[in-house]
Each structure stands twice: as structure tokens, then as C-alpha cells.
């Protein structure tokens, strides 16, 4: 969750310091794509009034809820074997990839996997291809996706 210190923290939407007594909302890190319209409020604290004025309030609340419900201990269920991923060395979590319900990546939003399960999955090459294609569309900004694809490609290399 974002750190907040009244009379010090700056609202990312208006640029003003959030003063004591002003209504505010803090959000967890919930955006991996810097082109996402919620990037400005990810891992940040904003004035409630600014959120409402910007039109981001509803989407930001929904995304924060989704991320909090999908992360943390007891919520890391591998999509392949159905078991909890309890080892950080074995844990792979997809970020929030897309709002587009028609995208092949939509069902991978915030998904968890055991590395060993994903490595053996016949779906892995297709997932890598879909991520690479998505990155090529220009709808993704920032280093996370490229790094993540590299991690997934390393799994394929290990399994061969």
C-alpha cells in the first residue's frame, strides 16, 4: 500500500500536498503497464475529490479490490495444479495485463503458477507469443512486460 504522510504526500492527480483533514484514498501497487489509465494512482495516495473529478475513482477502486483479492498468502493458487504456491522460488504471478475481455491475456490477469507447473505446460509457448504480440502493439509501456517475457522464455529453455 502507498505510504501516506499528511501535510507531506503529494496527490498524483493535482500535484498539491494532501493536507490534514482532506479526504484521501491510498492504493496498492496495481499497475504494471505505464500506459494504463490507472498508472498515476498505482501505489499512491490521492485526494478523493481529485479521483472523482478525474473519472478514475470507480475503476481505481475496482482494480484495487481485484489486486488485493488476488494477492497475498492463501491466495496464490496455481492455475494448473490447483495447489497453493507456498515457495517464493516456485511462484510466478502475472500482473494485470488488460481490460480487454476479448484478449487471450484477459484470463491471465493476476494469475498465479508454480514455475514447475508452468514449465511443463503445453500452453507456455502460446502465452509467451500472446505477451510478445501484445507488447508489439504499443499498448504496453514500461519494462515489466519485457522482463516478464524473458523470465517465461527462460522456463522454456530450462525445460528443453
Does 63 share its domain with 77?
no
The C-alpha atoms of residue 116 and residue 57 are separated, in whole angstroms, by 39
Does 51 share its domain with 7?
yes
Last residue in a domain, options 70, 93, 124: 70
Buried b / exposed e across 28-46, counting CB within 10 Å, b at 16+? bebbbbeebebbbbbebbb
Domain count, the chain: 2
Does 34 share its domain with 103?
no
pLDDT at 73: 83
Does 102 share its domain with 59?
no
Does 65 share its domain with 81?
no
Last residue in a domain, options 27, 44, 70: 70
Does 43 share its domain with 5?
yes
Query: Which residue range forms the structural domain that includes residue 125?
Result: 73-159
Average pLDDT (125-152) is 95
Percent of residues, the chain, with pLDDT higher than 70: 98
Q: Report pLDDT digits (tens) over 1-47.
A: 688 898 999 999 999 999 999 999 999 999 999 999 999 999 999 99
pLDDT at 158: 66
The C-alpha atoms of residue 135 and residue 73 are separated, in whole angstroms, by 30
pLDDT at 43: 96
Read off φ and ψ for residue 114, nearest 5 degrees.
Answer: -75, 140
Does 60 share its domain with 85?
no
pLDDT at 160: 53
Does 89 share its domain with 104?
yes
Does 59 share its domain with 124?
no
At residue 91 the predicted structure's pLDDT band, cuts being 50, 70 and 90, is very high
The C-alpha atoms of residue 79 and residue 86 are separated, in whole angstroms, by 14
At residue 95 the predicted structure's pLDDT band, cuts being 50, 70 and 90, is very high
pLDDT at 13: 98
The C-alpha atoms of residue 68 and residue 55 are separated, in whole angstroms, by 21
The C-alpha atoms of residue 159 and residue 10 are separated, in whole angstroms, by 47
Last residue in a domain, options 70, 100, 118: 70
Beta bridge partners of 78: 112
Does 87 share its domain with 153?
yes
Does 33 share its domain with 83?
no
**Is the pTM higher than 0.85?**
yes
Say which residues have a Cβ less than 8 Å from residue 132's Cβ, sequence separation at least 6.
Answer: 149
Q: Report pLDDT digits (tens) over 104-138.
A: 999 999 999 999 999 999 999 999 999 999 999 99
Does 33 share its domain with 98?
no
> Residue holding cell 504496453?
140
Measured from the Cβ of residue 156, the count of other Cβ atoms closer than 10 Å reads: 13
Amino acid at each position: 500500500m502507498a505510504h501516506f504522510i499528511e501535510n507531506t504526500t503529494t496527490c498524483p492527480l493535482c500535484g498539491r500536498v494532501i493536507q490534514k483533514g482532506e479526504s484521501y484514498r491510498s492504493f496498492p501497487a496495481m499497475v504494471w503497464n505505464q500506459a494504463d489509465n490507472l498508472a498515476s494512482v498505482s501505489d499512491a495516495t490521492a485526494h478523493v475529490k481529485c479521483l472523482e473529478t478525474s473519472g478514475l475513482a470507480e475503476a481505481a477502486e475496482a482494480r484495487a479490490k481485484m489486486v488485493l483479492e488476488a494477492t497475498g498468502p492463501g491466495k496464490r493458487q496455481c492455475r494448473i495444479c490447483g495447489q497453493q504456491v507456498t515457495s517464493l522460488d516456485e511462484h510466478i504471478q502475472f500482473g494485470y495485463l488488460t481490460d480487454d475481455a476479448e484478449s487471450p491475456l484477459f484470463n491471465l490477469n493476476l494469475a498465479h503458477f508454480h514455475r514447475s507447473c508452468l514449465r511443463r505446460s503445453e500452453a507456455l509457448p502460446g502465452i509467451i507469443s500472446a505477451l510478445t504480440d501484445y507488447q508489439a502493439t504499443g499498448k504496453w509501456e514500461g519494462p515489466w512486460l519485457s522482463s516478464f517475457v524473458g523470465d517465461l522464455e527462460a522456463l522454456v529453455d530450462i525445460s528443453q
